[in-house]
Structure 1
Amino acid sequence: MNRYQQLAQQLKEQIKSQTWRAGEKIPSIRAASQSFSVSPATVLQAYQLLESEGWLNARPQSGYFVTAILERGNEAESEDPPALPKFNDTLFDFLQSNSRASVALGSAFPDPSLFPIATLNRHLASAGRKMSAQSVVSNMPPGNEDLRRLIAQRYLKQGVDVSHQDIVITSGALEALNLSLQVVTKPGDYVAIETPTFYGALQAVERLGLKPIEIPVDPKQGLNIQVLEEAFQKHDIKAFWLMANFHNPTGSTLSDEKKQAVVQLASQYKVKLIEDDVYSELHFGNDKPKPLKAWDHKEDVLLCGSLSKALCPGYRIGWVVNRLFNEPIQKQQLISTLSGSAPIQQGVAHFLTHESFDNHLRKLRKELEVRQEYVVSLLKRLLAERVAIHVPSGGYFIWIELPKHIDTQSLFNVTLEQGVTFGFGGLFGDNKLHGNFIRLNTSFKPSSELDRALKLIASKIME
């Protein structure tokens, strides 16, 4: 396909999606030439092709305008787009369903009513009024210095030796995790992932062309250290993406002994650990569980955190902590997303400076624990001994094991018809292993709607 044909196809797709609507003028030949970095002759050929097919209409001295649908001729049959793996389609449909559900127990996000959004917005406005033009530059990678210092101080208070100069601010934890994976691997490398695991890890490994080696996670015992070492011995594994605290979806947390063992094995076999630690602030006990980074003395751990689960969902504030890979992560960020939002970074830093984050966290943890107890208690009454409910000591997910014969994806399709979602096991790994499990979000306030949703799920399990 020639360049003018490619440009014509691109413009056609924009018209189909109504980026350009009937009657609207599209960019002039000169403007399009500059925008698409092609010659004016190429743009003219593309426009003339679209005009011949009825998509555009040339008006003397005025330019090219989008025609009405009825004026367009029949398109030639186009080639089918490349087939994406079915898992991507399933995940996309699942994520979309949560945005439409009346009770989204499958959502990965906590109940937004738990967070001080109005107060955050005031700090965002206050910080914005004080922003200078230079602040846009100063918030480029590695990110806002005040925010990085405040994050580093929280780790230091926990006994984790990091500097703000080790931290890169990202657009949420998922970007932090993806950037980390990109800088320590190349396509074709072996990487270890947990099973079951957060579906974002599965997508990242697939997208980057990496070869996954699965390490089983038990809801009670956590990561299988023996299988992990055997995998390290057998394969030239470059990275291991894992959650040591309040694992998603099982809820398990590794003991300090196991965390230390994982770090030691990684050092021994020269494997980089990409630690997804987004739930550790949501512990129900007195002490925050330490990240793997606390035992890391060789910069083998790339610690990824976020405020999305503990303070400000939707603000997309995440970070990576690692001294050795700090600069490569910044470079990778600059050529992908450029940087996080400067006003958001400054606004969150302003909040953390002038408000008590710890007071907020104490209230949040208490409320999450109460809501978890409510959901678990109701499900136990409804399901008796029919299922095994794995209840973590933090976070806002529970992992439920159903009888082997129940296919939770089919169950999901049934409850979705009545506006209720949950995370079915096949999203988190091999459906043969996890197809009879579900993940439930327990962060929502008790209500008649919540009761209805839980009773609906329970009734379908009992059928």
Structure 2
Amino acid sequence: MKLYEALAQEIEDMVAQQVLRPGERLPSVRQQHARRGASPSTVFQAYYLLEARGVIESRPRSGYYVAPGRAPTAAPEPEPSRPDGAPRSVDVSELVFGVLEAARSRRVVPFGSAFPSPELFPLPKLARALASSTRRLDPWSTVADLGAGNGELRRQIALRYQLDGAAVAADDIVVTNGALEALNLCLQAVARPGDTVLVESPSFYAALQALERLELKAVEVATHPREGMELGALAAALERHRPAACWLMTSFQNPLGSLMAPDKKQALVGLLAAHGVPLIEDDVYGELYFGARRPALAKRYDAPGAQGLVLHCSSFSKCLAPGFRVGWAAPGRYARAVERLKLTTSLAAAMPSQLALAEYLGQGGYDRHLRQLRAALMGQQAQMLAALAEHFPPGTRVTHPEGGYFLWVVLPEGADALALHAAALERGISIAPGPMFSAKREFRNCLRLNYGHPWSTEHAAAIATLGELIRG
């Protein structure tokens, strides 16, 4: 049991035993830190967990109090997926484009959005870094840094890899226009039309779109909603299909929020290396963890046996600067191939954005921002989970991720997420229906909800409305 879980259980026991009574104020985070030695992060996580369970409630500018009445029990976790494992062509783009277009409107509650709220990012500081770095721009750098990207930014990224225990040289990093370009370039470097690629089930829709565009076949592999892709099912798929690549989100997968344990990531890399299959590691949510430390990268285990077969991709879009569109790839043995593909497609990522991010990272405020962002997301997750427990019908199952900003919701049998999507839009609410996360258009009774926006009475009312629509 983790420290925050133990603290939460202790407080819940005190409430059950009437040591702490309804309406009574809990010790502040500062008091818990001073008396118990627990870190503020641990206390916040415990309080957020108790809030999600309905044991306590937060009152603005006042603190946390024992709830006057217990909220409904949190929904159970979904079952692991069980896809048929057959290779198939992909045709999801029209559905995806339609859903994403609806989610962009400011007039809708953005539960279907792919991004957290821009209000959570340090945009004024980034603007100052942009202005400062542009004033000092070396004209020759706009030519010298084409292709792989700005040297200082790549150095800053390499330093973060080192902190995460992964040995990646700055020269082996390719800066891209967001993580999506990095992922697409890596896919092109290892696969050819007609090849098969292994993906999770449910899978990130942009991965499916990339396979569709490149005329690749998808094999969906059984995936646990908390622990990620099942390695036994992966081993069977490797033997059966001899794929060109495996595209996974090993930390806070979209849409499930699943997180592979470090030993499982190590086993994953070893298994793929034994078959000579490259791993495209999509790690755009890795910094959005709620625990004490960043989850280990699969890239960390890319030596010596894997021989550079892990192509790690990430970006600043989900955790710092979405509009800057700066991502990167650390493609291992495929670094030069990815760099050349970059040169022959978009040539380079925008230099002012690269310089601004290099300056911001050099100032040392990034980790402070990330701590604030994680705390906000934890609180917003707790509020959404509590609302779902109150308003969604019996039989609903919901994931409980340890990071990221998505919940995967499995509705009772017979529910139609596509019909719910249309009905919700008419009431000013966007959701992401389950079929957009499957090459086979499965998960008809599932949806993904985004809790990456500050909670409000409008959001609470929208969850209540969704519950009414589901109940019919």
The TM-score normalised by the length of structure 2 is: 0.78
Q: Which amino acid aligns with 2:232?
A: Q
Q: Which amino acid aligns with 1:191?
A: V
Contact between 1:281 and 1:310, CA under 8 Å: does it hold in 2?
yes
Provide the residue aligned with 2:428 in structure 1.
419
The 5 A counterparts of 1:156-167 are: 156-167=162-173
Provide the residue aligned with 2:96 in structure 1.
91
Provide the residue aligned with 2:5 in structure 1.
none
The 5 A counterparts of 1:219-234 are: 219-234=225-240
Provide the residue aligned with 1:280 in structure 2.
286
Aligned residues: 380
Aligned to 2:187, which of 181, 185, 188? 181
Aligned to 2:342, which of 333, 338, 341? 333
The 5 A counterparts of 1:30-429 are: 87-100=92-105, 101-297=107-303, 298-383=307-392, 385-429=394-438
Equivalent-residue separation in structure 2 for 1:250 and 1:410 (angstroms) = 21
Partner deviation per Cα, 1:225-283 (whole Å, 9 max, x = no partner): 11111111112211000011001101110111211111111111110000000101000
Runs of at least 4 residues off by over 6 Å? none
Shift of 1:383: 2.4
Shift of 1:215: 0.8
Gaps of 5+ in 1: 1-83
Equivalent-residue separation in structure 1 for 2:241 and 2:417 (angstroms) = 33
Contact between 1:396 and 1:443, CA under 8 Å: does it hold in 2?
yes
Equivalent-residue separation in structure 1 for 2:108 and 2:134 (angstroms) = 35
Equivalent-residue separation in structure 1 for 2:411 and 2:377 (angstroms) = 24
What SS class does the counterpart of residue 186 from structure 1 fall into?
coil
Contact between 1:216 and 1:224, CA under 8 Å: does it hold in 2?
yes
Equivalent-residue separation in structure 1 for 2:288 and 2:223 (angstroms) = 21
Shift of 1:154: 0.8
What SS class does the counterpart of residue 439 from structure 1 fall into?
strand
Shift of 1:86: 6.0
Higher Rg: 1
Please, what is the CA RMSD of the aligned residues?
1.5
State the structure with bigger RCO (CA 8 A, min sep 6), 1 or 2.
Answer: 2
Shift of 1:349: 0.4
Q: Which amino acid aligns with 2:455?
A: P
Equivalent-residue separation in structure 2 for 1:284 and 1:364 (angstroms) = 10
Q: Which amino acid aligns with 1:328?
A: A
What SS class does the counterpart of residue 262 from structure 1 fall into?
helix
Q: Which amino acid aligns with 1:187?
A: P
Equivalent-residue separation in structure 1 for 2:194 and 2:392 (angstroms) = 45
Contact between 2:186 and 2:331, CA under 8 Å: does it hold in 1?
no
Shift of 1:153: 0.5
Larger CA deviation: 176-185 vs 425-434: 425-434
Equivalent-residue separation in structure 2 for 1:299 and 1:360 (angstroms) = 32
Partner deviation per Cα, 1:305-349 (whole Å, 9 max, x = no partner): 111111111111111012311111111011111110001000110
What SS class does the counterpart of residue 197 from structure 2 fall into?
strand
Contact between 1:142 and 1:330, CA under 8 Å: does it hold in 2?
yes
Equivalent-residue separation in structure 2 for 1:197 and 1:212 (angstroms) = 10
Contact between 1:232 and 1:269, CA under 8 Å: does it hold in 2?
yes
Equivalent-residue separation in structure 1 for 2:208 and 2:129 (angstroms) = 36
Gaps of 5+ in 2: 1-88
The TM-score normalised by the length of structure 1 is: 0.80
* Alpha-carbon spacing, 1:430–1:178, altered in 2? closer, same or farther (3 Å): closer
